[in-house]
Amino acid sequence: MPSRILYADDDQWMRDIVDTILSAAGYSVTITVDGQAAWEELENCKPHLVLLDIEMPRVDGCEVCRRIKNQPETRDTPVILISGRQDAADLALGAGADAFLTKPFTLEELRGRIDSLL
């Protein structure tokens, strides 16, 4: 059974690229368009890993990460936060993220972080 990844990003182009990359690598990917939708989908999809853009409408990735890490049933789920802002690493780690990636990232960086956390 493939590992399940929940991915939230408000950028359609990024969603398409990451979905293609992760699906081709054999992961089962659930895509959402913002942090609120990701939070709502979390219970349904029961992901092995969550990948979140930081800057999204409604609820940002840092807040979703905090919620995940504050719930006993999800706190052990690895979370990777991503952002185009170079200075966002401190925000990501402060929110409890297990890893941070700066956009643009390479396929190897993405796969390496995911593989190391799964």
Query: Where does residue 106 rank: exposed (0-12), middle (13-18), buried (19+ CB within 10 A)?
Result: exposed
Which domain covers residue 33, as residue numbers?
A: 4-117
Residues 101, 106: Cα–Cα separation, whole Å: 10
pLDDT digits (tens, 9 = 90+) for 27-45: 999 999 999 999 999 989 9
Q: Which domain CATH number covers 42? A: 3.40.50.2300
pLDDT digits (tens, 9 = 90+) for 4-13: 999 999 999 9
pTM score: 0.95
Residue 88 has, within 13 A of its CA and on its CB side, a CA count of 21
**How many other C-beta atoms are found inside a 10 Å radius of the C-beta of residue 87?**
8
Residues 74, 16: Cα–Cα separation, whole Å: 26
Residues 113, 99: Cα–Cα separation, whole Å: 7
DSSP 88: G
* Structural domains of the chain, count: 1
pLDDT digits (tens, 9 = 90+) for 65-118: 999 999 999 999 999 999 988 889 999 999 999 999 999 999 899 999 999 999
Chain centre distance of CA 17: 14
Residues 7, 78: Cα–Cα separation, whole Å: 12
